[in-house]
């Protein structure tokens, strides 16, 4: 276990050999540094807040799973325990958990791939089923049209048989329309119950689910949640799906940038609740802004182009709106609004 001592200025004043080996610095080198100096840039803000609270006596100790950047540039994961010493500094105990985190990440990747494979399999089965259901009336339409043409070629034309062929075509066309309507009804999920939902609490729950990927990608996470936010009526699972999708998209959008930060904001006004997810990623190409909510449109190599389309359908089924905006500095922002006081019947 690595043991370190910090002075009043938060600089290292002592470090045992285990910690020196862990970070690749000698004790003399560490005395010129603070914990923030060996923390990756994307993690520093959160660490700075905790250190200030410790320094000002607002807390006596803290425990943190965090990343450290070794002298050779390698990033490692550690479990950190820090105890404040009044008017002197602090003592820290550090355990290297890099291998454990790598194993957990590998397990998450395997689970994600398994889930994706199952999803693709379900999509394939559903597509085959839809194709089969629609193909039957279409094949009948083609067969009746061919029969009608043959009856027309007779001399004289067999009008009764031609009329019967047209009637069959109309009947099969209506059958195809009914198949499509049943598919639409399936995706509208009309049977799902609507309850009172605290969006602030839902945001916190989804952020907790995504804590691993946020830390893994070194993202500085910020929230601005309106304490006066009013609950909305909706399907909790569907709204969670919307938030999860928007936040996951924001995380993936920042893979190509160095400075990664994400903001989730909730607001209340004009009889509606507004939630914004903003990232510092590469942004949205202006030529794609009007297409990103279309089914099967995607800018991802392995994307299916259904996520944002489904999100918009869910939001609109709740009487709200989902839109894409440019970020304040860079990146993109996705914003959805939901009305308050929406009855279960109206939501459906």
Residue 277 sits at the vertex; the CA angle it makes with 272 and 280, to the nearest 5 degrees, is 150
Strands 2-6 and 89-96: antiparallel
Q: Distance between terminal CA atoms of the chain?
A: 57
Query: Tell me, what's the pLDDT at 201?
Result: 92
d(CA 311, CA 61): 42
Residue 74 is given by DSSP the state: -
Q: Three-state SS for 80?
A: strand
pLDDT digits (tens, 9 = 90+) for 57-104: 778 888 888 899 999 999 999 999 988 888 788 899 999 999 998 888
pLDDT band at 185 (very low <50, low <70, confident <90, very high): low
What's the pTM value of the predicted model, to 2 decimals? 0.47
pLDDT band at 271 (very low <50, low <70, confident <90, very high): confident
pLDDT digits (tens, 9 = 90+) for 325-348: 876 667 888 999 999 864 444 444
Q: CATH fold of 101-188, please?
A: Helix Hairpins (1.10.287)
Query: Tell me, what's the pLDDT at 322?
Result: 92
Q: CATH fold of 2-96, please?
A: Beta-Lactamase (3.30.450)
With a cut of 50, say whether residue 306 has pLDDT above it: no
With a cut of 60, say whether residue 205 has pLDDT above it: yes
d(CA 232, CA 290): 28
Long-range contact set of residues 296-305: C-beta below 8 Å, sequence gap at least 24: 300/252, 304/123
d(CA 238, CA 320): 13
Tell me the domain boundaries of the chain.
2-96, 101-188, 195-347
d(CA 262, CA 111): 25
pLDDT band at 109 (very low <50, low <70, confident <90, very high): confident
pLDDT digits (tens, 9 = 90+) for 144-176: 899 889 989 888 888 888 888 898 888 888 877
The residue ranking higher by pLDDT, 150 or 123, is 150
Q: Are 268 and 229 in contact (CB under 8 A)?
A: yes
Say yes or no: domain 195-347 is CATH 3.30.565.10. yes
């Amino acid at each position: 276990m690595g043991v370190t001592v910090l002075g009043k200025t938060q600089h290292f004043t002592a470090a045992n050999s285990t910690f020196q080996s862990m970070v690749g610095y000698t004790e003399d080198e560490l005395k010129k540094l603070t914990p923030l100096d060996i923390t990756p840039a994307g993690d520093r803000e959160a660490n700075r807040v905790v250190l200030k609270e410790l320094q000002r006596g607002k807390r006596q100790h803290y425990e943190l799973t965090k990343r450290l950047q070794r002298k050779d540039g390698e990033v490692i994961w550690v479990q950190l325990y820090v105890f404040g010493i009044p008017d002197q500094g602090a003592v820290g105990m550090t355990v290297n958990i890099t291998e454990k985190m790598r194993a957990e990440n590998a397990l998450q990747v395997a689970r994600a791939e398994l889930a994706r494979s199952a999803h693709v399999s379900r999509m394939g089965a559903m597509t085959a089923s839809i194709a089969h259901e629609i193909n039957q009336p279409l094949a009948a339409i083609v067969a009746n049209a061919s029969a009608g043409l043959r009856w027309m070629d007779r001399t004289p034309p067999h009008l009764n048989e031609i009329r019967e062929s047209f009637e069959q075509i109309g009947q099969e066309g209506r059958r195809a329309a009914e198949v499509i309507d049943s598919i639409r009804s399936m995706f509208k999920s009309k049977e799902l119950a609507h309850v009172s939902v605290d969006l602030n609490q839902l945001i916190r729950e989804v952020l907790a689910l995504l804590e691993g990927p946020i830390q893994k990608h070194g993202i500085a996470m910020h929230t601005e949640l309106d304490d006066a936010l009013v609950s909305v009526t909706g399907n909790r699972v569907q709204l969670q799906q919307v938030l999860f999708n928007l936040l996951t998209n924001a995380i993936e959008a920042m893979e190509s940038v160095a400075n990664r930060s994400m903001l989730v904001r909730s607001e209340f006004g004009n009889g509606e609740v507004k939630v914004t997810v903003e990232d510092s990623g590469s942004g949205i190409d202006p030529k794609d802004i009007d297409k990103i909510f279309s089914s099967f449109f995607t800018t991802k190599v392995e994307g299916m182009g259904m996520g944002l389309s489904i999100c918009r359908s869910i939001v609109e089924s709740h009487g709200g709106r989902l839109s894409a905006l440019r970020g304040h500095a860079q990146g993109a922002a996705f914003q959805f609004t939901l009305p308050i006081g929406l009855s279960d019947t109206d939501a459906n």
